[in-house]
Chain A
């Protein structure tokens, strides 16, 4: 009875390929004002630098050189939990001698050396508050300047105050508040709530829109710098760009199977090269350690082992993603990550994505697609031709009822032999067994009634299938759509090489 009703719903959906609803607004933060502490006040957990220079004392990160222990070149303490794109950072600093700074959207050059944008800090009176590009273009904006850098590198400068007067706001040798606001091309530095410099960096071949956060200890005379109360708020990306956070689960299965890290890295590489207006961030090895990882995401992909061990079921993650989904953040799950227990995660997955693998209802045979059908006139299938990959194509998903907003994206007819296995939580059940010859939905899109999008796909057990241009395009289109971007008329373009496919594979012992 339930099956008949569900099939009727899907028949209607297959005929209609429902309309695409608007994408909801994205926000999301762990605290009321959106700021999250990224230094715990007691240890350097999550930070990495040369141990001889960095320590924690009295609730502050301390960087120090002495006459006996100088640093030959500038050295940095790098925040290792995430990268920055658009954000607001607040911290307190105290400088005793020398020069320091806050690197953001920067590059790790190895051996604790960093290059990129720096909010400068100085014991003298020349450089505090300026924008300096370490290992790059040098001074971009002096204190008291708003500088617009054109695409060709030419600068237009206007005054926002007197360099000397602004210096008086800074308490030499005492604690000061530093705030950096980076929103698209606009980079603003505040000390003690006073704007010190502002830069609009439109030099596209040299500017950075994302990169690491680090703290500087400058070469030269002995110095000591302290940082505390370091709080980060991620902000929605400027200029209509969207952000996709890809989460890869920990290694499982044999070589070439459930290659979560390699698969997400491959998708990230393709998306980054696709020319779409988006930023991608990939977290491998399970749930991100960055407490702000999802705060300005427009879409999140989970490619991980599911069931009771699904990353979203651990700790307080279910509530965290549920809150984001309610704010319109897209959620996509791939292969095993579409499975959660009916009692824990099932209701949420129905709300986020409109469907999921329900044990004792859904099944997981390996088979080769036959009679493949793709949704007509849906953005996710643009440029995609029917394909016939062999995969562990789960089917007979549990879908939301009524199915308003659900669109079957990919369907096929499984071989009847896949319905003849013994009953079990993943292998077969009476409803599946009775459905011989039926068409099954293998990937679907969901427009939530309250805003936001979801997508699920049951394939991608085998890493080799990423070489299939149509399967890959379907997934790239789906991610772009889930994030709320327009999908190009011919689909998201991508090419992958043998080297690309071999990159980032988990280190797994060959099966005996």
Chain B
């Protein structure tokens, strides 16, 4: 099983292939935002990688990061578009606490949505 390290929180073991957004919630008990329900629309599920950043990216992630002016920000990725296939280290900076929102967003599906179309 891969290790998912959330800086300042701890290191967790996660099922291989699990969506990062769900692993942050389930295994790490992080109040990770995912306002659009994990369909690459809102960018609130963003995290910043400090190690283990996946090389590949879905077209949906590429497009929404560009549309929001976030493309090219070092390490910044959408956790809803990433699966835990190896050891990862992230900063969880987009969280419910302090956001003013009433909830983190609808639970994301088990599989990446929309179906991955890799860049």
Contacts and interface: CB of A to CB of B under 8 A. Distances in A.
A488 interface: no
A138 B28 contact: yes
A127 B14 CA distance: 12
Given A72-B110, A73-B26, A139 B12 contact: yes
A117 interface: no
Nearest to A135: B29
Interface in A127-147: 127, 132-133, 135-139
Contact of B11 (A124, A138, A219): A138
Contacts of B9: 137-138
B10 interface: yes
Nearest to B26: A73
Contacts of A73: 26
Nearest to A115: B29
A113 B77 CA distance: 30
B3 interface: yes
B13 interface: yes
Contacts of A127: 1, 13
Nearest to A127: B13
A39 B85 CA distance: 37
Range of interface residues on chain A? 10 to 19
B3 A139 contact: yes
Interface string A195-223: 00000000000000000000000111100
B1 A126 contact: yes
Contacts of A218: 15
A411 interface: no
B10 A139 contact: yes
Contacts of A135: 27, 29
Contacts of A138: 9-13, 27-28
Interface string B1-33: 101000001111101101000000011110000
B103 to A, nearest CB: 19
Contacts of B10: 133, 136-139
Nearest to B22: A73
Nearest to B110: A72
A122 B12 CA distance: 14
A379 B81 CA distance: 65
A47 B13 CA distance: 26
A137 B30 CA distance: 11
Nearest to B17: A220
Given A99-B13, A220-B15, A136 B29 contact: yes
Most chain A beta-carbon contacts within 10 A, residue among B11, B13, B16, B18:
B13
Contacts of B27: 135, 138
Contacts of B3: 139
Nearest to B15: A220
A405 to B, nearest CB: 52
A132 B29 contact: no
B51 to A, nearest CB: 15
Contacts of B11: 138-139
A124 B1 contact: yes
Contacts of A139: 3, 10-13
Given A72-B110, A73-B26, A132 B1 contact: no
Contacts of A122: 1
Contacts of B12: 138-139
B73 to A, nearest CB: 27
Nearest to B2: A126
Contact of B15 (A124, A137, A219): A219
A135 B25 CA distance: 9
Contact of A220 (B16, B26, B28, B29): B16
Contacts of B16: 220-221
Contacts of A136: 10, 29
A385 B10 CA distance: 51
Most chain A beta-carbon contacts within 10 A, residue among B3, B12, B16, B28:
B12
A99 B1 contact: yes
A124 B27 CA distance: 19
A117 to B, nearest CB: 13
Contacts of B26: 73
Interface string A224-266: 0000000000000000000000000000000000000000000
Contacts of B13: 99, 120, 127, 132, 138-139
Interface string B25-45: 011110000000000000000
B91 to A, nearest CB: 15
Nearest to A132: B13
Nearest to A142: B11
A139 B4 CA distance: 10
A73 B19 CA distance: 13
Nearest to A134: B27
Most chain B beta-carbon contacts within 10 A, residue among A133, A136, A138, A139:
A138
Nearest to B10: A138
Interface in A142-200: none
Contacts of B29: 135-136
Most chain A beta-carbon contacts within 10 A, residue among B9, B11, B18:
B11
A133 B11 CA distance: 10
Nearest to B12: A138
Nearest to A130: B13
Interface in A12-34: none
11 contacts: A120-B13, A126-B1, A132-B13, A135-B29, A136-B29, A137-B9, A137-B10, A218-B15, A220-B1, A220-B15, A221-B16
Given A99-B1, A136-B29, 12 more contacts: A72-B110, A73-B26, A99-B13, A122-B1, A126-B1, A132-B13, A135-B27, A138-B9, A138-B11, A138-B13, A139-B3, A220-B15
- 3 A-B pairs closest in CB distance: A138-B10, A138-B12, A220-B15
